[in-house]
Structures are given as C-alpha cells and as structure tokens.
Homo-oligomer: A and B are copies of this chain.
C-alpha cells in the first residue's frame, strides 16, 4: 500500500500536530456538483450509481479534482446493510429511501439476520477501486449507518417526520428494538471490517437519528451498539489501528458519553459550541465539525467569516477535523465550497504559526 502523501486527516484523528486543519465535507460527492449529476444520469439511478464500483469511484473522486480536500469518502448509502438483509431498498424519483418490507412486527424482527457480506461485494470492490485510483494522495474514509439509525428506516419502512413507531417501540417493546439494533451492530461491524480489509484508512458511523431519543433510550439503543461495533473493529492490513469517528446528530448534550465510546473522534453538528466541546473533552478525542451546511448557500465572504470563526473556536491544539455539521445541501454553489476549503486551510495554518 502506498504511503499517503497527505496524512493530515489521520494525524488529526490521532490528535497529532498537523500544519493546518484537514477538511472534508459530508456528502462532498453529491448533487451540488454538475459532474456528479452527469454521472448519475449515466448510471440511470442513485442505486445503480452506488452499486457500480467504477461509477462510485468516479463520483468519489470528483470533489477532489475540484477542491484541495484532505480526504475521500466512499460513495455509498447508509442503507446498503439492511438492503443486503433482503428488505428491498428503493429510491423513488424525488423521494427518500423506502424499503419494500418493513421490520416492525415480531415475525419480521425474529427473522432478521446478519447478511452474507458477499451481497455487499459491490461496496468492498468500490473501496478497492477508489483506493487504487487515489494512489496515496489522501486517505479514504469508509462508513456505515449506526444500528439505531438503520433501525429507524427498517421499522418505519423509510424516512419519517417523527419516527413515532420507533419511539413507541423504544418504550412499549424495548425487547424488539434491542434485537434489531443487536443484529444491526453485528452486521455493521462485519461491514466496516471488510471496508478496512479492503483499504479504508478510517471509518465513520453516522447516527443521524439517535438525537431524537430520551437519554436512557439513546444510551441503550444507539450509543451501546455503536460501542460494541467500535470494540469489534480490526486493525488495518498492516496491523495499525484504524481511527474511528462517531457522529450523533443532535447529540451535543451527550458529548462526554460519546467521547468515552472508544471512538478516535466525535462528530459535532452545527448547534454545538466547538470551543466548549474542546474544553469538555480535553485531549481525550478529536473533534469533527461543525459548520451549518446552510452557510454554504450564502456567499464566499460569509462562508470565509463563518469558517474562520469555527477554526478559531476549535483552537490550535491538535485534533480538529473541519467538516459541516450535517451533509452538504444540493443547492450549494461549488464556489462557496472552494471558499470554505481555502479559509480553513489559510486560517488554521495562521493560528498554528502564531506563537
């Protein structure tokens, strides 16, 4: 495996000094880029794009050709794992994901099983192909949805404004929800381990919906399964430990518990004060975040000012990975992304140079 030319992301995840703050963006390969839309049109559908390694590789590399980002992230979807469980993932035009079969009654939940990882070969093949294409330029991040977030879509059969069925199950039938997240945790651990075996340099767990739970329910149904995944991850093929990132959107009030999960880094959404977060966790973990993605809908000057404020709030200590507080939105003008990356690199180099 080639030595990385730019290893700032991995160093920051290990809280080692870097000359500037590395930056990548959630959904950096996506609909705000005309070249992404062109590839997607050629693929015919989002799922065809995600399931064709050569096309997934193509779109993964697109933002790196435009912007001096410090990491690539595998182009895929968090719902590939329940899809491999046989739930029938669909994306209708202009709508979110739907499963043909929901996992909401006792029979369906009893029948759930960790899928054969061979069904996810297209993901692992994409990891290999992207890794080769990157040729050691920047690290490659693998990822998966959190067991609880996957459970949300599995139980409701798709997205929801309030996930009421999930929240009801958490209190009325905690045994059923427990079984779903247990199966998911085992599946996600196997899934991330195979991404690592194929060359992912670091992995991230996306917990999009854990923030809607009560604190005891968050601990049991979201944080605990993520901890068990982190504990089950294997080292890289060269024997080195693989850095990990856990991101619970809306989880700012549980920062101390997420920081003790065993992850190398905690993702912060944009509502969290990153200076306060750093003061709270000290040098225990790296922090990733946390610009409001809506800032990228404004103009380059505003983007520069807001990004600068976050770099300064995060401070010069090692262990900050700049990112958004949630995924980039499709209406984002690419020139604002350029302004963002430039501001982060410039400002973070400047504060490190200041004695």
What are the residues of chain B within 8 A of A216 when measuring CB–CB?
A: 273, 309
What are the residues of chain B within 8 A of A306 when measuring CB–CB?
A: 171
B298 and A271 contact, CB distance less than 8 A = no
What sequence of 0s and 1s flags, for each residue 135-174 of chain A, a beta carbon within 8 Å of any chain B beta carbon?
0000000000000000000000000001010011001100
A214 and B271 contact, CB distance less than 8 A = yes
Closest to A295 in B: B171
Closest to A303 in B: B171
Closest to A211 in B: B271
Min CB gap A281→B, angstroms: 14
Closest to A310 in B: B214
B168 and A298 contact, CB distance less than 8 A = yes
Min CB gap A263→B, angstroms: 19
In the assembled complex, the Cα of A253 lies from the Cα of B305 at a distance in Å of 24
Closest to A169 in B: B298
Instruction: Please tell me if A75 contacts chain B, counting CB pairs below 8 Å.
Output: no
Q: Which one, B171, B218, B292, B309, contacts A298 given CB within 8 A?
A: B171
Instruction: Please tell me if A270 contacts chain B, counting CB pairs below 8 Å.
Output: yes
Closest to A166 in B: B294
Q: Which one, B252, B276, B302, contacts A172 given CB within 8 A?
A: B302
Instruction: Say how many copies of this protein the assembly contains.
Output: 2
Chain A interface mostly: helix
Min CB gap A99→B, angstroms: 21
Min CB gap A130→B, angstroms: 31
What are the residues of chain B within 8 A of A252 when measuring CB–CB?
A: 252-253
Q: Which one, B214, B255, B298, B302, contacts A270 given CB within 8 A?
A: B214
What are the residues of chain B within 8 A of A172 when measuring CB–CB?
A: 298-299, 302
Q: 30 A–B contact pairs at CB < 8 A?
A: A164-B294, A164-B297, A164-B329, A167-B295, A168-B298, A171-B292, A171-B295, A171-B298, A171-B305, A172-B298, A172-B299, A172-B302, A211-B271, A212-B271, A213-B271, A214-B270, A214-B292, A215-B271, A215-B272, A215-B273, A215-B276, A216-B273, A218-B271, A250-B250, A252-B252, A252-B253, A253-B253, A253-B255, A253-B271, A253-B272
**When A and B form their complex, which 9 residue pairs have the shortest distance between CB atoms, in order from nearest?**
A215-B273, A167-B294, A252-B253, A172-B298, A253-B253, A172-B302, A164-B294, A214-B270, A171-B295
